[in-house]
Amino acid sequence: EAFFRDCGGRLVSAVEVCEWLYRFLPPKRLTARQVGRMWRRSAHLIRQGLLPDQVHAYVYIPFCHRYCTYCNLYVVQLRDAAQLEEYVDRLLKQFEFFRPYFSRLTFRSLVVGGGTPGILTPGQIHRLFSSFRSSFSVQEDGLRGFEVDPGSVSVEKLAVLKDVGFTRISMGVQTFNKSLLKSVNRGHQDTETVCRAVEQIRAAGFRDGFNLDVLGGLAGQEIEDGLDCFEQLARLEPTQITFNFF
């Protein structure tokens, strides 16, 4: 039997997971108000100690300039700046709508993923997460992470991220092998861009440091390539290295 760990570290069986899904996720599309009522009920149970106080916030930015062929997430290739601005406006409305449902809950952490969250402009980052901070509460010592692509990093953007409370940057490097990068449609990335981005992130001084992502198991990838990539990443002295295997 398969087991998983919940956010509190408790072992949960696959059967329990399925039972939870069938119980709480009706086989139909829910309205925002229905979702809000479900969260209000859950918040009440958490305050009574009937559910674990392990609520984390995740904000998804689905846009990318190009598709990486290994990615199995929902992503949208960005057409123009107006498309991104429209999404930001919709997120701001969602923050405002769900604000009262979470008014008495504190998130343990906040992570912004994608897609490519770094595709947001400094102004959009400031608008979004100034609004998030005024709408929701995140545990003081909790992680506040933001994902970036090496080409999306800038000194100005990092300064804004730190200003609105982010404590760690996670950057997808994936591999340093140029032919592998080209094979997964990341031929635009080079070692110089990665190293420059790392130095800018380090200089910004995020409380919880920075993570670098690397891929294993890509078509045509040899063990030696993975070891070489790890050595190069280690020389950059990140706080954490995350291997994702395919």
Tens-place pLDDT, residues 64-75: 999 998 888 889
Identify which of 185, 118, 130, 116 has the alpha carbon closest to the alpha carbon of residue 154.
118
- The number of angstroms, rounded, from the C-alpha of 103 to the middle of its chain's C-alpha atoms is 23
Residue 149 clears pLDDT 70, i.e. is over it: yes
Residue 2 clears pLDDT 60, i.e. is over it: no
Which pLDDT score is estimated for 226?
A: 85
Q: Which residue has the higher pLDDT, 216 or 124?
A: 124
* Banded pLDDT at 207 (limits 50, 70, 90): very high
* Banded pLDDT at 223 (limits 50, 70, 90): confident
Name residue 148's beta-bridge partners.
171
Residue 220 clears pLDDT 80, i.e. is over it: yes
Which pLDDT score is estimated for 20?
A: 66
Which pLDDT score is estimated for 15?
A: 73
Name residue 168's beta-bridge partners.
145
Q: What single-letter amino acid sits at 159?
A: A
* Banded pLDDT at 193 (limits 50, 70, 90): very high
DSSP H helices in 99-205: 122-135, 155-163, 178-183, 191-204
Tens-place pLDDT, residues 6-19: 655 667 777 776 67
Residue 243 clears pLDDT 70, i.e. is over it: yes
Q: How far apart are CA 150 and CA 194, in angstroms?
A: 5
Which pLDDT score is estimated for 170?
A: 98
The reply to whether omega before 115 is within 30° of 0 (cis) is yes
The dihedral built from the CA positions of residue 229, 231, 234 and 236, taken in this order, carries a sign that is: negative
Mean pLDDT for the stretch of residues 167-185: 95
Model confidence, pTM: 0.87
Q: DSSP of 84-116, one letter per residue?
A: HHHHHHHHHHHHHHHGGGGTT-EES-EEEEES-
Mean pLDDT for the stretch of residues 33-62: 91
Residue 25 clears pLDDT 70, i.e. is over it: no
Query: DSSP letter at 118?
Result: G
Average pLDDT, the chain: 91
57-61, strands of its sheet edge to edge: 57-61, 110-114, 144-148, 168-174, 210-216, 240-245
Share of the chain above pLDDT 90, in %: 69
